[in-house]
Amino acid sequence: MHFEVEHTFPAPRLRIADVLCDPAFHTHLDLPDLSRPQVVKCTATSITRYLHLRYEYIGQLDPIARKIVGGRSLVWNQELRLDTVTFRGTLTFSAEHDAKRLNGSADVEIIEVDGGATSRRRISGDLHVRVPLVGGTAEHRIVPGLVRRLDVEAEALTAEIRRRVS
């Protein structure tokens, strides 16, 4: 199922990229229904950023989701790759135990606004639940929570940018 979100931030693109790819920002961020993440890997060069996080879903699972994951915890890996020259990248995520059945990817772009004083982040992608008969229903139930967590992340990102400038 396709999803798309846009958020505007009061800072230049590089500052957005630096905070967005900072493991400390994520490990102190409380997102709805998720544990705080474990940082699996983080790298940064002069032109690229990479952040691999591991989350556990701690909210209530509906019956379809419980059937998909069985008796296991729902744990997934999320990877953000960002080029700080073009300010384009990818966000990928997949279930740890059955990545072929539950996964997704999105294009990420940070666009200059107002001569670079403000930036807009656009995330556009697809979530896939490849389970016969219930996959489409599961996607429709999961995507709103995914979008809500991206909105919460954006609010926290704005607050963190303001805190770091002060």
CATH of the domain at 54: 3.30.530.20
Please state which of the ranges 35-44, 59-68, 100-109 shows the lowest mean pLDDT: 59-68
Cα dihedral angle (8, 13, 18, 21), rounded to 10 degrees?
A: 60
Quote the percentage of the chain above a pLDDT of 90: 73
Distances (CA, A) of 80 to 107, 108, 123: 10, 9, 11
Banded model confidence at residue 42, pLDDT cuts 50, 70, 90: very high
Q: How confident is the model at residue 158 (pLDDT cuts 50, 70, 90)?
A: very high
pLDDT surpassing 70 at residue 12: yes
- Give the pLDDT confidence of 129-153 residue by residue, as tens digits: 988 888 898 899 889 999 999 999 9
* pLDDT value of position 68: 67
Q: How many domains does the chain have?
A: 1
Looking at the chain, the whole-number percentage of residues with pLDDT higher than 70 is 96
Q: What angle do CA 118, 124, 129 make, to 5 degrees?
A: 145
Q: Which pairs with CB-CB distance under 8 Å and at least 24 residues apart come from 66-71?
A: 67/134, 68/101, 68/102, 68/129, 68/131, 68/134, 68/138, 69/95, 69/97, 69/98
**H or E element: which one contains 62?**
none
Residue type, 46: S
Instruction: Look at residue 69 in the predicted model and tell me its pLDDT.
Output: 66
Measured in degrees and rounded to the nearest 5, phi and psi for residue 51 equal: -140, 125
Residues of the domain holding 86: 2-165
Give me the mean pLDDT over the 5-20 stretch.
Answer: 96
DSSP letter assigned to residue 89 = E
